[in-house]
Chains A and B, each alone.
Chain A
Amino acid sequence: MQFFSVIRWIAWKDLLSEYRNRENISSMFFFAINVILIFSFSFSLDPETIKEIMPGIIWVAFGFTAIIGLGKSFLVEVNNDCMEYFQMLPIPKGAIYLGKFLGNFLFMLSVEIVLFPLFVLFFNLDILDQFLKLLLISTVATIGLSALGTLFSALTVQIRAREVMFPILLLPLSVPIFIGAVEATRGILSGDAFALYRHWIELLVVFDVIFVVVSFWIFEFILDY
């Protein structure tokens, strides 16, 4: 169906471009490493404190990754007026949003997966047996961040103060994602039973569904104002 092929084409284009120049992923990755290193220096490494603050550190690092990486997601479209080409396409514009969203989600998730071993390394975390559960949380939270981030990127990309406006818009409204992700991560790292933190995952899922749907519907107006 043409709708899904549009999504595939856009995600293909973004992934191929990124594979060729690796600019986005490398800046996201190295920024996150910097954050991890700074936290690693600043806090004393006794295991009790680490367990307390680790979920926060993880999600601060991922949050910065989102700000660096998602903000310029539409920049490549603006560069050669490609947004105009999208505007002239006889397709539902929400498919373009979903294509960009998919690419962004995959970038962010791959950076997060690579960062997890670093958390093990610098903070002596024992998370190998909980890796799958952590991956689940990351996936669900990253869907929400990517959903909002892709939409706000489209809103701010042509503004001269883009780099300032994007985090100003994204951070307050993604508070539920961070709360849910930190609490669920804390539950996993403390070895709690799944039932104790599952409602956080449910919150994230609800958030994801609402914002992917709303952004998909509202994206039409960004291209055809």
Chain B
Amino acid sequence: MATAIRGIELSKSFQHFQVLQSVSIEIASGECYALFGPNGAGKTTLLRIFATLHRPSAGRFEILGFDGNRERAKIRAAIFLIGHGSYLYDDLSVKENIQFAIGIRGWNPTDLEIKKALDQVGIGRFAKLRSRYLSAGMKKRLSIAKALLVRPKLLIMDEAYAALDELGVAMVNEYIRNFTKEGGTVLMSSHDRAKTAEVAHRVGVLNRSVLNEMSVEEMSAADAIF
């Protein structure tokens, strides 16, 4: 199986404060890899490095075979990040925000495709609402609708279940299951072991720049993983 993500001895420091030190990781295509770890361990930083938002201070990485330093445009065409930022414009409606977010990536979804995606994530009836009025959970669902339309090869989800209600979590898990079945790769971080166990293929626990990998069963059975 091809490798979707290969990180080799990645280090990152901000203001000379070292968040990651020599972290290596390998994720295969079609896999859902769940990253756990205490707050401040550097999970978000690692995910953002792979999303090409940060350059590593040391080390290198490859995504879908493209070099993380020299082929960033090709990486960006194939990935999608659902992170902490909502990437929304307050004065635009939900539908207009989607039209902008996808249109600026190079193709224009039809009204029907947008409606389908919004319905699939459960906010179809809010299509005309100005996004300044959306709750955090609704914004998260909107981000997933964008991912549905973009259809990336690699999906990166930082705190996948944050802000979502139970139905929302079930919706995300179903999306991940379908996504990996169709050959896509998912790298996610989470704090909820039970919900993650339903979809993850492999688990990694990042603590003090040590990545401790384990199976999903081990993660579920253990009292505490860090």
A and B touch in the complex (CB under 8 A): yes
B73 in contact with A87 (CB, 8 Å) = no
Which residue on A lies nearest to B130, using beta carbons? A20
Q: How far is the CA of A13 from the CA of B92 in the complex (A)?
A: 8
A residues near B104, Cβ cutoff 8 Å: 5-6, 9-10, 89, 91
For window 170-193 of B, CB contacts with A under 8 Å fall at: none
Stretch at the interface among B82-90, B114-122, B205-213: B82-90
Contact in complex: B52, A16 (CB < 8 Å): no
The answer on a CB contact under 8 Å between B89 and A13 is: yes
B74 CB-CB contact with A under 8 Å:
yes
* B112 CB to nearest chain A CB (Å): 20
Interface-located stretch among A42-50, A76-84, A153-161, A210-218: A76-84
Contacts of B105 in A (CB 8 A): 89-91
* CB nearest to A16 among chain B residues: B92
Contact of B87 among A2, A6, A13, A82 (CB under 8 A): A82
Chain A nearest CB, measured from B187 CB (Å): 15
Complex: A20 Cα to B93 Cα, angstroms: 11
Name the B residues within 8 Å of A89 (CB-CB): 76, 104-105
**What's the Cα separation between A81 and B89 when bound, in Å?**
10
Residues of A within 8 A of B90 (CB): 76, 79-80
Known: A81-B86, A84-B53. 13 other contacts (CB 8 A): A5-B104, A9-B103, A12-B100, A17-B89, A79-B90, A80-B89, A81-B83, A84-B83, A85-B101, A87-B53, A88-B51, A88-B52, A90-B77
Q: How far is the CA of A176 from the CA of B101 in the complex (A)?
A: 38
- Residues in B whose Cβ lies below 8 Å from that of A20: 91, 130
Is B100 touching A81 in the complex (CB atoms < 8 A)? no
Contact B106 A13, beta carbon cutoff 8 Å: no
Q: Are A21's CB and B91's CB within 8 A? A: yes
The minimal Cβ–Cβ distance linking B74 to chain A, given in whole angstroms, is 7
Q: Please indicate the chain B residues that have their CB under 8 angstroms from the CB of A85 in the complex.
A: 85, 87, 101
B76:A88 contact, CB within 8 angstroms: yes
Q: How far is the CB of A167 from chain B (nearest CB, A)?
A: 26
Would you list 28 pairs from A and B whose C-beta atoms are within 8 A, ordered by A residue? A5-B104, A9-B100, A13-B89, A13-B92, A13-B96, A16-B91, A17-B89, A20-B130, A21-B91, A80-B86, A80-B88, A80-B89, A80-B90, A81-B84, A82-B87, A82-B89, A84-B83, A84-B85, A84-B87, A85-B85, A87-B53, A88-B76, A88-B79, A89-B76, A89-B104, A90-B77, A91-B105, A224-B72
Interface residues in A67-81 (C-beta closer than 8 Å to B)? 76, 79-81
- Interface pair B91/A81, CB less than 8 Å apart: no
Chain A residues within an 8 Å CB radius of B73: 90
Interface of A is mostly: helix
Binary per-residue interface labels of chain B (42-85) against chain A in the complex, 1 for a CB within 8 Å, 0 otherwise: 00000000011100000000000000000011101101010111
Sorted nearest first, the 3 A-B pairs with minimum C-beta distance are A81-B85, A90-B77, A85-B87
B53 surroundings in chain A (CB, below 8 A): 84, 87-88
Neighbouring B residues of A81 by C-beta, 8 Å: 83-87
Known: A88-B76, A88-B81, A90-B76. A16 touches B51 (CB 8 A): no
Residues of A within 8 A of B130 (CB): 20
Point out the residues of chain B lying under 8 angstroms from A13, CB to CB: 89, 92, 96, 100
With a cutoff of 8 Å between Cβ atoms, the chain A residues found around residue B106 in the complex are 2, 5, 90-91
For chain B, residues 89 to 135, give those with C-beta under 8 angstroms from any C-beta of chain A.
89-92, 96, 100-101, 103-106, 130
**Which residues of chain A from 1 to 31 have any CB-CB distance to chain B below 8 Å in the complex?**
2, 5-6, 9-10, 12-13, 16-17, 20-21
Distance, CA A16 to CA B93, complexed state (A)? 11
Residue of B nearest to A77 (CB): B89
The distance from the CB of B142 to the nearest CB of chain A, in whole angstroms, is 11
Query: Which residues in chain A, 90-108, are within 8 Å of chain B measured between CB atoms?
Result: 90-91
B69 vs chain A, min Cβ distance (A): 12
User: In the complex, which residue of chain B has the Cβ closest to the Cβ of A2?
Assistant: B106
| C-alpha spacing A44/B89, complex, angstroms | 47
State the CA gap A88–B100 with chains docked (Å): 14
Residues of B with C-beta under 8 A to A10: 104
Closest to B87 in A: A85
Q: Which residues of A contact B81 (CB under 8 A)?
A: 88
